[in-house]
């Protein structure tokens, strides 16, 4: 997105300096208000609470302490965080490998088919992800549809335990996040200038080289956006990992959720939340740096 905006600005050429009136400020006020109320204030609250203590009933006691952070950097929580990051990484990688060809195919097909195909990607998302996750449970469980099919076709003789395994967790995550990878890449592919590809062929490049030297760099903004859109929410996801994994391998999202409920320790949950936020900011910064260096 930044690339195209910069390109448009360059194409427009130097514009005469003009002082903006009050009008535009009025126009953005609702958005600024929204950001302040629902992004900045909650984040500040999280930050403040993460330095507080709590009493026996779980009420926050406003006295300053570093204890939540020293506790958060214990090996046992970092290990859980590491597992969550690993799950998110796997999910992102699989989504990229599966989503890229699909996005490319949709983006290069005729305009009439394109709308229909994008619809097909979107339609499942008109249903709540919890219901779709429960559907997976009834497919993958031991007495479920998949095992019944495999055994009827005599492919397996005994039911396979698909459910409540890391496999099931990754499957649930990939299934739920795939469209967030497909859509931004599709947007990049759609904008791809076909004449550049033709030029590459004319200059004697083979398909593999055209892909790696022309198509891939031009669709990189879409890929970067897709990777962020999948990776960030996948780290913090707790509902799908809990349902599909049977709660046996807690992710950092589940741990944080627990602090705010059963563990009665909101300040510690807030500290873990701040750490997670730091990771998100770091990955945003890395990806923007990555994109900038590509431009140069």
CB 243, min distance to other proteins, A = 9
CB 19, min distance to other proteins, A = 44
Q: Are 254 and 173 in contact (CB under 8 A)?
A: no
Q: Which of 120, 12, 34, 87 is nearest to 237 (CA)?
A: 87
CB 79, min distance to other proteins, A = 6
- For residues 80 and 227, which CB has a smaller minimum distance to other proteins in the complex? 80
Task: Tell me the C-alpha to C-alpha distance, in Å, between residue 164 and each of 19, 126, 132, 250, 252.
Answer: 60, 26, 16, 12, 17
CB 50, min distance to other proteins, A = 15
166: which residues sit within 8 A by CB, 6+ positions away?
A: 87, 245, 249
Q: Are 77 and 275 in contact (CB under 8 A)?
A: no
Q: Which of 222, 241, 139, 228 is nearest to 183 (CA)?
A: 222
Q: Are 253 and 235 in contact (CB under 8 A)?
A: yes
DSSP states along 71-131: HHTSHHHHHHHHHHHHHHHHHHHHHHHHHHHHHHHHHHS-HHHHHHHHHHHHGGGGS-HHH
CB 59, min distance to other proteins, A = 5
- For residues 83 and 121, which CB has a smaller minimum distance to other proteins in the complex? 83
- For residues 56 and 204, which CB has a smaller minimum distance to other proteins in the complex? 56
Which string of b and e fits 173-201 if b means at least 16 CB within 10 Å? bbbbbbbbbbbbbbbbbbebeeeebeebe
CB 161, min distance to other proteins, A = 7
- For residues 180 and 268, which CB has a smaller minimum distance to other proteins in the complex? 268
DSSP states along 154-205: TS-SS----SSSHHHHHHHHHHHHHHHHHHHHHHHHHH--HHHHHHHHHTT-
- For residues 160 and 205, which CB has a smaller minimum distance to other proteins in the complex? 160
Instruction: Using CB under 8 A, list all residues that contact other proteins.
Output: 54-59, 76, 79-80, 83, 137-138, 141-144, 159, 161, 163-164, 242, 246-250, 255, 258-266, 268
- For residues 103 and 272, which CB has a smaller minimum distance to other proteins in the complex? 272
CB 163, min distance to other proteins, A = 5
CB 183, min distance to other proteins, A = 32
- For residues 76 and 112, which CB has a smaller minimum distance to other proteins in the complex? 76
Helix or strand (DSSP H, E) at 54 = strand 53-54
- For residues 54 and 175, which CB has a smaller minimum distance to other proteins in the complex? 54
Q: Which of 116, 92, 94, 96 is nearest to 104 (CA)?
A: 96
């Amino acid at each position: 997105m930044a690339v195209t905006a910069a390109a448009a600005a360059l194409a427009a050429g130097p514009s005469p300096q003009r002082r903006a009136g009050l009008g535009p400020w009025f126009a953005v006020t609702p958005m600024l208000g929204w950001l302040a109320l629902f992004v900045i204030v909650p984040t500040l609250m999280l930050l403040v609470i993460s330095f507080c203590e709590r009493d026996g009933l779980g009420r926050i006691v406003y006295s300053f302490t570093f204890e939540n952070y020293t506790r958060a950097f214990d090996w046992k929580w970092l290990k859980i965080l590491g597992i969550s990051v690993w799950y998110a990484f796997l999910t992102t990688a699989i989504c990229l490998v599966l989503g890229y060809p699909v996005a490319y195919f949709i983006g290069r097909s005729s305009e009439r088919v394109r709308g229909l195909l994008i619809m097909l990607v979107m339609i499942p998302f008109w249903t709540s992800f919890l219901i779709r996750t429960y559907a997976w449970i009834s497919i993958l469980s031991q007495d479920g549809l998949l095992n019944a099919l495999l055994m009827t076709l005599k492919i397996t003789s005994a039911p396979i335990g698909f459910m409540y395994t890391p496999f099931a967790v990754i499957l649930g995550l990939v299934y739920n996040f795939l469209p967030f990878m497909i859509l931004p890449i599709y947007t990049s592919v759609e904008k791809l200038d076909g004449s550049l590809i033709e030029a590459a062929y004319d200059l004697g490049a083979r398909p593999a080289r055209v892909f790696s030297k022309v198509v891939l760099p031009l669709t990189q903004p879409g890929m970067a956006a897709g990777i962020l859109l999948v990776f960030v929410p996948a780290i913090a996801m707790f509902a799908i990992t809990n349902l599909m994994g049977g709660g046996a391998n807690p992710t950092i999202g589940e741990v944080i959720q627990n602090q705010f409920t059963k563990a009665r320790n909101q300040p510690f949950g807030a500290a873990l939340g701040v750490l997670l936020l730091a990771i998100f900011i770091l990955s945003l910064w890395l990806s923007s740096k990555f994109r900038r260096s590509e431009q140069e």
